[in-house]
A and B are shown apart, each in its own frame.
Chain A
Amino acid sequence: MDPNKKRVDSLFPDEVLERVLSLITTHKDRSSISLVSKSWYNAERWSRRHVFIGNCYSVSPQIVAKRFPNIRSVTIKGKPRFSDFNLVPDDWGADVFPWLSVFATVYPFLEELRLKRMVVSDESLEFLATKFVGFRNLSLMSCDGFSTDGLKAVATHCKNLTELDIQENGIEDLGGHWLSCFPESLTSLEILNFASLNSEVSFDALEKLVSRCKSLRVLKVNRNISLDQLQKLLLHAPQLMELGTGTFMQELVSGPLTELKNAFSNCKNLLTLSGLWDATPLYLPVIYPACARLTFLNLSYATLRSVELANLLAHCKSLRRLWLLDTVGDKGLEAVGSCCPLLEELRVFPADPFDEEMNLGVTEVGFISVSRGCPKLHYTLYFCRQMTNSAVVAVAQNCPDFTHFRLCIMTPGQPDYITKEPMDEGFGAIVKTCTKIQRLAVSGLLTDRTFEYIGKYAKNLETLSVAFAGSSDLGMEYVLGCPKLRKLEIRDCPFGNAALLSGLMKYESMRSLWMSACNVTMNGCRVLAKQRPMLNVEVIKDEESDDSQAHKVYVYRTVAGPRRDAPPFVLTL
């Protein structure tokens, strides 16, 4: 052995290196560490406790298990993001069970599982609950395939459960009995979120659970929990940091509202508030005492008008993140601009996405108001029915720190409503001025010019969503020039094979590409697949489209080879 090498190794034994590396937690840092040298690669793999798998088909459970022997926590993301909008057929895949069965052997001490857009069956949940003795944290977001029976298994068998977070899943709700399955002995719960489940749970069981779990810091209940019941829960858990209320409207409150107000006032640690379904001016004031400390307020299920919002926000000077419904209108956004100078994130959702007769929602006016009053804004998701280039330019100038800019002009291909021009200059201003931009979603009438700007200026762009935009293949070719691009999702654009193939050298440095209702053909996809064996080029066949067109294409890098669980309508080329 080379004496120099031996000296270096003995100066820095593996145990020390591992100890040091155990303090490094982000997966990006760990990835970098593993590339330094072989001994660092080994030290890193032995000391890693958490693994993040951004695309469940990019790697196999066996490969993960082989490389990382000591994992305690796993995060896995499955279906392409457009599955949230019904663009991916059911039975496409992303079943978690193959992962669980490998983990049961290799990681019997697994403590945490966080899944997004995965298919999770009741059997999988039961398997999880019974095979992993020390299991503690379960988070399921936008998953489907399970019912409340699966939750029963988790509640019954996970003796040390600290987190149960069920968010916006396509689940079969067979009733609220699952909550009653938590044994009396379970006192470890810290996070409980069942806000998106529809059926009623036993309030008695919930109340007892909340009062015996002294470390509970996140509680998000569903709409069935009344204000009276909420009051009781708050009395048992004044230590809460995050609260999701049930319905915020009641016909007859048993005690005076001051008691409810006091209950909120006593929650000195409350930083996040959500739920607030059906909130009206009658009951909203009860939360005022807690508002001054709030950093995140989610009003996206409360159909508030501008006046109610303004009255509420007057109390919320510490707000960093705010989610709203567009029922608040531009006037409501004006209040945001004047009351929330520390605001960093604003999301405005449409109350009536499919029927504009109901309410105009928010416009470019509201967008500008917020940008004027909230210079620290760096994340926005904004649904609107009209927008202008000058407004977007102004927003870019007022808030140059944008990292996430997602603007959705709801009518496909709609131009600047005043000048009738494409929205190219608006989005151009965003990428030119906001140099830190990391995630971008574009909309409205857009020519290739928008993409030229993006390709030229968006040096930090990682995620791009495009719909109903572009004039030619050039559009897509431009954006494939973004150096840090990792995820590209495109629908209904005139990009064809030339565009697809211009990214030949690019896709392996990206997580994935989605293209649907574009002009790509099966032949184009075959060329790509042949030239790039490290990519899976999958076409989802549509009964309606003809055989030569590739109606939905999903391309992603992988070390696991072609999928072995692909359904008949998914062709791997």
Chain B
Amino acid sequence: MNMEDGLSLTLGLPGRAESDKEPNMSCFKNSNNNKRSQPETNDARSESNGSSAAKEAGMDSAPAAKSQVVGWPPVRNYRKNNVQAKKTESESGMYVKVSMDGAPYLRKIDLKVYKGYSELLKALENMFKLTIGVYSERDGYKGSEYAPTYEDKDGDWMLVGDVPWEMFMVSCKRMRIMKGSEAKGLGCNV
């Protein structure tokens, strides 16, 4: 039985030639060899060790790639799944389609870019070259030929501006700028 592989103070796998005993990352067989995290002294050595370790791990030593280590960081599955679901929704932009009556194609806007309704409406006015005007609770967008509407999560078509901005952002599935008599009708029914 060969005890030597256990007793000699090496850093890598038994049987591998190792020339130094100072700390480096080459023995982390499973970890992506992220150069960012290596000590910055003695670059030549760390680089050569890095590439041999990377070969062991079967990955190339690109520092930018995020670590693919199994079970690291030590966050339980339940927690990973439940928080991430929310994050992808809220961080990656809230793009909604905007259609305008009579226009040949739709546009897409990111609601997260706007701080509130006035910014959104200005953007729509610019995008479609029209005037929507000012919102009033009683009369909607009276005086304008157009009424911005949106479809909410329940599938109902609502007038833009009635609910708080935050609530609008999460419930808006897509928008439609209504024109003409239909638009006027929506404003008056409320």
Contacts and interface: CB of A to CB of B under 8 A. Distances in A.
A420 B6 CA distance: 30
A496 B6 contact: yes
Given A82-B71, A84-B74, A445 B39 contact: yes
B25 A413 contact: yes
A527 B1 contact: yes
Interface stretch (B11-19, B120-128, B134-142): B11-19
Given A420-B40, A467-B74, A472-B10, 14 more contacts: A82-B71, A84-B76, A84-B77, A87-B70, A251-B170, A278-B86, A280-B166, A355-B66, A415-B39, A446-B23, A472-B21, A493-B27, A523-B1, A524-B6
Contacts of A86: 70-71, 77
B181 interface: no
Contact of A350 (B13, B22, B71, B73): B73
Interface stretch (A42-50, A59-67, A369-377, A404-412): A404-412
Given A468-B31, A523-B2, A251 B83 contact: no
A383 interface: yes
Interface of B: 1-3, 5-7, 9-14, 21-23, 25, 27-31, 34, 36-41, 66-67, 69-80, 82-84, 86-87, 90-91, 152-153, 163-164, 166-167, 170-171
B37 A412 contact: yes
Nearest to B29: A517
A549 B15 CA distance: 12
Interface in A505-553: 517, 519-521, 523-524, 526-527, 549
Given A303-B83, A471-B11, A350 B78 contact: no
A501 B71 contact: no
A445 B70 contact: no
Interface in A100-145: 142
A494 B87 contact: no
Contacts of B38: 413
Contact of A412 (B2, B31, B39): B31
11 contacts: A87-B71, A251-B170, A282-B167, A350-B73, A352-B84, A356-B66, A413-B25, A492-B29, A523-B2, A527-B1, A549-B13
Nearest to B80: A353
A497 B36 contact: no
B87 A496 contact: no
B144 to A, nearest CB: 26
- Interface residues of A, dominant DSSP: loop
B87 to A, nearest CB: 6
Contacts of B39: 415, 420, 445
Nearest to B32: A412
A251 B78 contact: no
Contacts of B82: 277, 301
Contacts of A523: 1-3
A85 interface: yes
Contacts of A84: 74, 76-77
Interface in A325-361: 325, 349-356, 358
Contacts of A500: 6
B48 to A, nearest CB: 17
Contact of B37 (A351, A414, A474): A414
Contacts of B167: 251-252, 282
Contacts of A473: 6-7, 9
Interface in A426-452: 445-447
A238 interface: no
B94 to A, nearest CB: 14
A471 B37 contact: no
Given A412-B69, A471-B21, A249 B1 contact: no
A352 B87 contact: yes
A397 B152 CA distance: 54
- Which of A196, A325, A471: most chain B CB closer than 10 A? A471
A353 B75 contact: yes
A353 B31 CA distance: 15
Contacts of A491: 71
Contact of A85 (B34, B66, B76, B86): B76
A497 B14 CA distance: 10
B55 to A, nearest CB: 15
B6 A521 contact: yes
Contacts of B90: 303
Contacts of B30: 492, 517
A251 B154 CA distance: 10
A483 interface: no
Identify the 6 closest CB pairs spanning chains A and B, nearest first: A497-B6, A85-B71, A168-B78, A494-B27, A498-B6, A414-B37
A527 B27 CA distance: 24
Nearest to B66: A354
A468 B28 contact: yes
Nearest to A383: B73
A363 interface: no
Nearest to A355: B66
Contacts of B84: 352
Nearest to A524: B6
Contact of A351 (B2, B66, B71, B83): B83
A449 B72 CA distance: 24
A134 B78 CA distance: 32
A526 B3 CA distance: 12
